[in-house]
Every structure is written in C-alpha cells, then in structure tokens.
Amino acid sequence: MTWEAVIGIEVHAQLRTARKLFCADEVIFGDAPNTHVCPVCLGLPGALPATNPEAVRLAVRSALSLGCTVHPESVWARKNYFYPDLPKGYQITQFDRPIATDGTVVFDTDDGEKSVRIRRVHMEEDAGKSLHDRIPGSTAVDLNRAGTPLVEIVTEPDLHSPEDTRAFLSALKQTLEYVEVSDCNMEEGSLRADANISLRPAGSSGLGVKTEIKNVNSFSGIQRALEIEIERQRHVLDGGGTIQQQTLLWDDHKGKVRPMRSKEESHDYRYFPDPDLPPLRVAPEAIREAEKALPELPRARRYRLQNELGLAPYDAGVLTQSRVTADYFEDVSAQVGDAKVAANWMMGPVQALMNDRGYDAITLPVRPAQLADLIGLVLDGTVSEGGAKKVLAAIAEEGGEPRAVVQAMGLLQVRDEGQLFSWVDATLESHPTEADRYRGGEKKILGFLMGQVMKRSKGQADPRRVNELLVDRLDR
Amino acid sequence: MSASQIAECVRDGETPLGPARSALVAISEAESGPEALNAFVSLNPESALTGASSGLLAGVPVAIKDNLATTDLPTTCGSKILDGHVFPFEATVVRRLREAGGVIVGKTNLDEFAMGSSTENSAFGPTLNPHDRDRVPGGSSGGSAAAVAAGYTPIALGSDTGGSVRQPASFCGVVGIKPTYGRVSRYGLVAFASSLDQVGTFGRTVRDASLALEVISGHDPRDSTSVQREVPDFSGAGERGVAGLRIGVPDEYLPAALDPGVRRLINEALERLVDRGAVVSRVSLPHTNYAIPTYYVLAPAEASSNLARYDGARFGVRGEGRDIGDMYRATRDAFGKEVKRRIMLGTYVLSAGYYDEYYGTAQRARGLIAQDFEAVFKDVDVLFTPTAPTPAFNLGENTDDPVAMYLSDVFTVTANLAGIPGMSVPIGELGGLPVGGQFLAPWWEEQTMIAAAGALEASFAEEST
C-alpha cells in the first residue's frame, strides 16, 4: 500500500527578554549554575509570580507574525508533575485558553508554495536543567533557565514529508528572527521542536495512530528522525501490525529513535487555572499597535525585492535570509540607486569578506553608507572594481572614507584625456603590427592592446575610457 | 493597653522597645509555667527586637502566624517539613508592620499549613484556649487568637482561607478580620489555597484589629492578585455608628439545629444594633448549602499543587532515598495526616476524567455563592451571622471526624469563596466560653462591617461601665 505521512510540529521558542517570565532574574545562557535565581524561580514557599510585560509583548508579536488571532484575555494554568528541575512541582503555562490561535505559515518548497495552519501559540515558563554528568552518581540541577519565557507554537498536522517539515521549520525560524522575538538558537536550546507523525493510506483523510518524536536539536535531525520513523511505521503497517501511540526520543549520535520509558510519559498533568495569576489581558489597542509595528515578513520582502527591484529569485532569497542582511542591502541599494549592482556587491565581495572574517551585517565594520560610496566610486570610474575590493578590505580593517582610502592606496584611476591619449598613442606606436591586425578585422586583438595600455599606465588608467579611446584611434 | 494606646505613648517619647520587652518577659514566663498555652512556635530573643518610635504601630508588640515569612525567625507552617527553616525574604505584611513601627515578638502556632479548625494539627503540639485549657482555640490561626486573648500581644496576624481568622477569634473572644480578597498582599504567606487565602488581623478591640488591617493593606506588585485601590481609614471606621445601616440576617446561617445559646446571643446582638439605629431584615443566600463541599473540592485542589514544591530538592527537610522517587516519598512523609488527606483529595479532584465533575462543578457553585452575595447586597449593607455553630469544642473532640471538624467552618467559608470581607466580634459567653458574631460586607466595603462591629462593641462597653 502507498502511505501518506501526516506530520504536526510543536516548537518551543525562547522569548528574547532581559528578564524571566515571572521574576526579575536575568536570562543569561552559560553562566555558573544557579547564579540567576530568586525565591520566585526557585519556587520557595510564599513567593509569587508577577508577569513580565515584555514577555507578553514578544508573545503577541510572535503570534501576529504567524498570522494568529491574539486573544484579549487568556488564562495561565498549572501543569503539575514532579521533577527535580521543576521547582514548584508545576509549570506555569496556558492550557485551554492560549494567548493566540488560528494562524498560517506559508513557505516555499521545491514543489512550490505550501502552507501550514498554526493551531495555537501559548506562553509558558521553561524548567531548569538536570545535569546528569556533573557529579558522578547524582543528578545536579541548574535553575538559571527556570522561569525563562517561552512560546509554544503548535501546528495542525498539515505537513506530509520530512523535507517539507524542515522547510517549514526554516521559514518559522526565519520569521521569528525577523520580528526579533527569539534568537532561535537550537544549540543553546532557545528553539526546540518536537514532531508528531502518523501514516495513512494515500488518498484517505483519516488519521492513523501517531508517535511523538522529542529531543531533536537540529532541523536536519528532525528531517532524519522523521525519515527513520516513517520507514519504521511503514514497515510495521505493511507487515499488518499496528502502531502504538508513544513518545520517542531521538538519539542524534546513533541516528535512532528509542521509546521513552512508559514511566517517563505516564503523566496526568492535572491542569487547572493558576490561582496566583489573574487572566492575562492584552488591550485590543495594544494588539492593533503590535500588528502595525510588525516589520515586513521574509516572504513579502523577498517578493518585493524580486518584483520591485528586479532581483533574481535566488538573489532575493539570499539577501532576505536574515533581516539585518536585508536591511543592510536595502540601505546600500537605495543610496547606490542600482539594486542589481548593490546585490552583486553584497553577494560577492561583501559576503566573501563576512565569511572570511566572521562578520554579519550588524558587526561588519563597513557601514552601508561607506559601501554605497565605494560602489559609487566604481560606477563613476574613480576606482576600478579590483581596486575597490582592496579598499573594502582596508576599510573593514582600519576604517576610513572610501574616497580618501582610494587616494591613499594610490588606486585613483586616471581619466585625464591628455594622459590617456598619450598612453594609447605610445602603445599603438610600439605595436604597429597588432594595430594593423585589428584594422584588418582581427577584433579580438583589442584585448592585448588594452592590456598594454593598462600596463603602461601601471594599472591607473580607467579601462572603460581606454577602451573607447583605443577603438577611436584604431578606427580612424 | 491597646495597640493604639501603646503607639501613642511611644510616639510621645516612651522607649520604642519597652512594651515589646515587657510582652516577651510575660510571654516567656506564662508559656513556661503551668498555664502555658503553647501559643508560640518561636519567640524573638530580646536582643533581636527592632521597632520604631514613629508610625501607626510605633512600639506595638505583634505576634505573627508561623506561615508568614520572616527573615529572623524560622517559618515552620506548623510542619516538620519546614522545621527550623528560615526564609531568605520577608512577607510584605511583616515588612509593612515593621515599617509602621510594630515589633515582632514571635511566631504563633497553627494547624499544619493552615489546614484545620482547632490548631491541633500542628507538628509542635496543640495550642490551648486561654478561656478553658481543655478546649481548642479554634484554627487554623489558633496561636495568634490565643496570644491576643491571653494578653500577650494586643494585635496579631493570621491567615484566613475558610475561616481561619474569624473562627479562632470567636472561640477566643477577640476581634478577627478577613479583608476582601486582594486587599492585602499574599507575598510571603505560605500558600494553602491561593484563590481563598487572605492575611487577616486579630485585636482585642475593633479599633486595634482595624488599625493592624490598615497598616498591612494595599497593592503589592509582587502579588498579582492584590488590587490597586486606596486604603480607607479602617481604624476610625468603628466609630461611625449604625444609624440607618441595613443589616441582613440570612436564614441559612440560623439553621434549626443551631446551638440555642448561640441563637440567643445572635438575637441579643441584633437588638443592640437595632437600639443604635440599624434596620434588620431577614434575607436568603440560597446556595449556602453548597459552600462546604465546594470549599473542600477547591481548597484541596489548590493545596495539592501548592504543596508539590516540598520535594526535598531545594529547601527544608530532605528524606533519604535510593532514587528520586524514594527521596520524594521519604521527604513528603513528613507531612501530617490532615495535610496528606487534603493532598490526596486535591489530586483526585483534578485528575483526568474527574476534573469537570469535581473541580468544574465546584467552580460553578463558587460563582453561584458569589452571586447570592451580589444579589443580597443590593438590599442590605452588611450581613450578620454566627461566626461558628458552637463555642470552642474540647481538645480531641473532632480529631477523628474530619467532616465534623470541617463543619465548624460552615458559616465562614462562604466569604472566602466569594472573596468578600468578614469579621468576627465577641457577642457574649456561653458557659464561660466566648461566642463571636460575624459581619460580612460587600467587596471593598470593610469600613461598613467595621462600623457595625464597632457599634456592637460600644454597646457592650457601655453596659459594663
């Protein structure tokens, strides 16, 4: 039988706040264990949560960027379970009334545009970290992460292949980065994704029994885990077996999934509204303002660069990969007045420089105005393209205004007609044979003559003008 | 001396720590003698006393229920699981008392985690009723009520989740106030049932209890359920009088089976109020019968979650075990019987498949009980009821019958479920045991019930002079 995979995703994204969701501790990754804790996030008796409005603002922004409806009133709930890294014995989350529902993410695949419906976005606090390898024979607990604000984004089961799932996740990550709500760093755990997967006979519309894959820490890992799990399910179903609903843990090293022990998943979370927190209210006006304040999202921007600035789809894709790169590019492009030239510079020399030195569009020492000036100097013939690349590297290294650096580096192109004619005439005099061959129809000898003029000028002649003058003299 | 008199003397130049030192000496002496009440779990040494010569409570000795966080003395909640545990932060109400010049002399005994109505469920032994040492002081704030009744301190703080301030006030013959939910910060109050818990005050007089309430009231950004509202002049409200005040007496609070003595005292009190110009009418709160079952679903549900943090991982007593499950079990075995019972109850009513039937139904009933009050307060300004069905019962009388124990809260839990303020004020004695009457007021109208209680108190005072 032919099977169709049905995949749904749950993403946890850490919100980029300075402080935790319910207390004033700083959110910092990688500090010494238990140095950013207080009575609230330690869950000490008598301590109470107070919601960080910045986290709510970012959650609203996240939800809006995914096309969700944000609800003016949502409810905090307690999810009860015992675990050493869960200080209160419950997690404050949202259950039956999340902050936002009903969104859509559209993304591009090799087979064209696809879309995934977002069922819900809810806010919650993160747990701490259990460290099983710090103290032999014991589990150590670091609560620096406890209370960090997260949004959980849950999709409808609208995905049908591991490749699409990966493309969707990339699009989701890109969107969250664009609206600056999350760093989306999977290594630091600021973005985590779990997948639900089931198979059904192709063409049918029911849903099969699903398994949930957890503990995946890269998009490629998700794709691999799904490929392996789909194969496993297909094998079971083809053999006439049935799938057991269970949670599977992905082991990245072995490239395998293993079932979670039933003890680990047999939780009854006993959700109920958290009596320490009134319903979360977001003024409809604040929602409208947040909507207005949303930046242009990646797909829209890419299409605008294609349609309005005339960039090739590939170029537009690369340049809108991150918001800072796109901002940088558009700034340069507007000043240069030629998007294609600006795009070539961005994707060529600038990209090379960034790769080489580990810069991004924010840390790159060459600011958009400097790059635009430099490109302007190339366009008006003040400096050659090769010269300008050297100038770009020099500015990145030591700073300076492009024109001054061009001058200081002796890269100004000579455009004085008298000087250029004298080089051209001298060259033609010393190469009469080649000049005759050109006049006899061997047009490609022009390149050789050009080279001779440039050599005579020690590379300082403006090659475009030299070309014109040479042709002018030869055709006379 | 009353709290307001002490504060006045201290503001006039008397040494700020004088009254508290005398109180400590008297408490130490009495509590180590044959008449000991076991009202305190811990006392501040004299050297640790701090107070101020200014403020509404300048130099006033105060006793604090041992479920309110203090940074000098341990906060045990009457439980072995927190034995000796000193908190790294102070409850907002304790800070406010100190900032008003109050001097914390010690922490008072209570039913473990405030779960009980007799102060017998304490890991540190029961507290005795100062009027009769064979009887309970009520609970769960029995230590605070006994301390004020015995004259140890003029005022004390308690907490009231289902009557834990008002019922012991009634049993001990003092004034006890539970304010509107959200009036006082719960930050630093160790949670029993968060949606019902509210810090309350005890005093020998209406004025003292109201003064203490005035000091601890007000919004606290650390407690999201505390409300931003101006704090009225509570301490002066007791002198307003009751002329024209409409007092409702709900039928459901005077059932046929009510102790005839209590009924008589209630009627006499109403006559006194009528004499002073109040207008009394009979009213009905039809959903009152649902209050006890509703309370004993919701309070344990919240408690089962609130008490999950006592896992031995980060603070307090840790039980030893081979693995994490063993450690949890060994640690949590330190909870007393009543606490375990309520955790079991609460876990059950929240569990999958039972949530709607129990928790959901109880939430709806809670709404109906609140609507009863909303409706009745359109017609009357304040309600008057018995605080408890009986005077103080004997030690051990109800310890084997949890339901009988739960029923001693039958007249008080409704205020917690609805969130309205309530207070108990002495209305006489039966066989040498004090009896309290309860005033219930609309949300944020504490002054109205304080005025009524003040008038009643004044009529008794007139009589005795």
For residue A51, the chain B residues in CB contact (below 8 A) are 224
Q: Does residue B312 form part of some domain?
A: no
**How far is B452 from B463, CA to CA, in rounded Å?**
17
For residue A45, the chain B residues in CB contact (below 8 A) are 69, 75, 77, 82, 87, 190-191, 309-310, 315
**How far is A357 from A351, CA to CA, in rounded Å?**
10
Exposed/middle/buried for residue A264 (C-beta within 10 Å: 0-12, 13-18, 19+): exposed
Residue A63, both tokens: 């939800």
Q: Which of A415-424, A441-450, B120-129 has the highest mean predicted lDDT (pLDDT)?
A: B120-129
Cβ burial A112-125 (10 Å sphere, 16+ → b, else e):
eebebebbbbbbbb
Instruction: Write down the pLDDT at residue B47.
Output: 87
Q: B223 CA to chain A: closest CA distance, Å?
A: 6
Q: Does residue B233 form part of some domain?
A: yes
Q: Does residue B18 form part of some domain?
A: yes
Entry pTM:
0.91
Chain B residue closest in CA terms to A80: B305
Q: B346 CA to chain A: closest CA distance, Å?
A: 10
Q: B124 CA to chain A: closest CA distance, Å?
A: 20
Among the partner-chain residues B89, B304, B359, the one whose CB lies closest to the CB of A39 is B89
Among the partner-chain residues A46, A48, A88, the one whose CB lies closest to the CB of B87 is A46
Residues 168-197 of B with CB under 8 A from A: 186-191, 193-195
Asked if A23 and A55 count as a contact pair (C-beta separation under 8 A), the reply is: no
**How far is B134 from B131, CA to CA, in rounded Å?**
9
For residue A50, the chain B residues in CB contact (below 8 A) are 221-224
B359 inside 8 A of chain A by CB: yes
Q: A270 CA to chain B: closest CA distance, Å?
A: 5
- Cβ distance A50 to B359 less than 8 Å, yes or no, reads no
Among the partner-chain residues A44, A78, A270, the one whose CB lies closest to the CB of B87 is A44
> What are the distances in angstroms from CA A71 to CA A50, A57, A61, A283?
20, 13, 12, 9
Instruction: Write down the pLDDT at residue A310.
Output: 92
Among the partner-chain residues B224, B347, B350, the one whose CB lies closest to the CB of A50 is B224
**How far is B65 from A171, CA to CA, in rounded Å?**
56
Q: Does residue B288 form part of some domain?
A: no
Instruction: Write down the pLDDT at residue A316.
Output: 94
Which bin fits A425, alpha (ψ -120 to 50), beta or left (φ > 0)? alpha
Asked if A41 and A144 count as a contact pair (C-beta separation under 8 A), the reply is: no
CATH number of the domain where residue B70 is located: 3.90.1300.10
Region of poorest pLDDT, from A405-414, B241-250, B310-319: A405-414
Asked if A13 and A62 count as a contact pair (C-beta separation under 8 A), the reply is: yes
CB proximity list for B93: less than 8 A, separation 6 or greater: B68, B157, B184, B185, B188, B189, B199, B216
Residues 299-358 of B with CB under 8 A from A: 301-302, 304-305, 307-311, 313-315, 324, 328, 347, 350-352, 355
Q: Does residue B316 form part of some domain?
A: no
Among the partner-chain residues B311, B324, B355, the one whose CB lies closest to the CB of A89 is B311
Q: Which amino acid is at A87?
A: P
| Higher pLDDT among residues A22 and A463, named by residue | A22
Given a cut of 80, whether residue A476 has pLDDT beyond it is: no
Among the partner-chain residues A87, A270, A278, the one whose CB lies closest to the CB of B347 is A270
Q: A149 CA to chain B: closest CA distance, Å?
A: 17
CB proximity list for A418: less than 8 A, separation 6 or greater: none
Instruction: Write down the pLDDT at residue A263.
Output: 53
Given a cut of 70, whether residue A464 has pLDDT beyond it is: yes
Q: What confidence tens digit (pLDDT) does each residue in B361-389 have?
A: 999 999 999 999 999 999 999 999 999 99
Given a cut of 60, whether residue A191 has pLDDT beyond it is: yes
Q: What confidence tens digit (pLDDT) does each residue in B62-105 have?
A: 999 999 999 999 999 999 999 999 999 999 999 999 999 999 99
- Cβ distance A88 to B222 less than 8 Å, yes or no, reads no
Mean pLDDT of chain B, nearest integer: 96
> What are the distances in angstroms from CA A375 to CA A326, A366, A372, B143?
18, 12, 5, 83
B450 inside 8 A of chain A by CB: no
Q: B442 CA to chain A: closest CA distance, Å?
A: 20
B417 inside 8 A of chain A by CB: no
Instruction: Write down the pLDDT at residue A262.
Output: 60
For residue B188, the chain A residues in CB contact (below 8 A) are 46-47
Q: What percent of chain A has pLDDT over 90?
A: 67
Given a cut of 90, whether residue A17 has pLDDT beyond it is: yes
> What are the distances in angstroms from CA B212 to CA B40, B338, B396?
20, 31, 32
Q: Does residue B338 form part of some domain?
A: no
Chain A residue closest in CA terms to B190: A46
Residues 17-76 of A with CB under 8 A from B: 39, 42-51
B17 inside 8 A of chain A by CB: no
- Cβ distance B314 to A275 less than 8 Å, yes or no, reads no
Mean per-residue pLDDT for A427-450?
90
Given a cut of 70, whether residue A34 has pLDDT beyond it is: yes
Q: Could you list the residue range(s) of the whole structural domain that residue B58 is in?
A: 3-237+386-443
For residue A139, the chain B residues in CB contact (below 8 A) are 324
Q: Does residue B200 form part of some domain?
A: yes
Q: A133 CA to chain B: closest CA distance, Å?
A: 16
pLDDT band of residue A264 (cuts 50, 70, 90) is: low
| Higher pLDDT among residues A473 and B67, named by residue | B67
- Cβ distance B69 to A277 less than 8 Å, yes or no, reads no
For residue B307, the chain A residues in CB contact (below 8 A) are 89
Interface test with A, best of B197, B305, B417 (most A CBs within 10 A): B305
Q: B407 CA to chain A: closest CA distance, Å?
A: 25
A279 inside 8 A of chain B by CB: no
Given a cut of 70, whether residue B149 has pLDDT beyond it is: yes
Residue B250, both tokens: 């709900």
CB count in 10 Å sphere of residue B401: 10
CB count in 10 Å sphere of residue B368: 15
Helix (H) or strand (E) holding A297: none
pLDDT band of residue A12 (cuts 50, 70, 90) is: very high
Q: Is B234 helix (H, G, I), strand (E, B) or coil?
A: helix
Helix (H) or strand (E) holding B164: none
**How far is A122 from A476, CA to CA, in rounded Å?**
78
Chain A residue closest in CA terms to B223: A48
Instruction: Write down the pLDDT at residue B52.
Output: 85
Q: Give the total number of structural domains in chain B.
A: 1
Q: Does residue B364 form part of some domain?
A: no
Residues of B carrying an active site annotation: 65, 140, 164
| Higher pLDDT among residues A232 and A381, named by residue | A232
Interface test with A, best of B222, B295, B351 (most A CBs within 10 A): B222
- What single string gives the DSSP state of each residue in A402-440? HHHHHHHTT-BPB--HHHHHHHHHHHHHH-HHHHHHHHT
Chain A residue closest in CA terms to B299: A275
A89 inside 8 A of chain B by CB: yes
For residue B350, the chain A residues in CB contact (below 8 A) are 80, 270-272
**How far is A288 from A350, CA to CA, in rounded Å?**
38
Q: What confidence tens digit (pLDDT) does each residue in A352-398 have?
A: 999 998 888 889 999 999 999 999 998 888 888 888 999 989 998 88
| Higher pLDDT among residues A453 and A72, named by residue | A72
Mean per-residue pLDDT for B201-227?
98
pLDDT band of residue A265 (cuts 50, 70, 90) is: low
Residue B114, both tokens: 């405030």
Report all structural domains of chain A as residue ranges with CATH numbers, in order of start.
3-286 (no CATH), 296-408 (no CATH), 417-475 (1.10.10.410)
B14 inside 8 A of chain A by CB: no
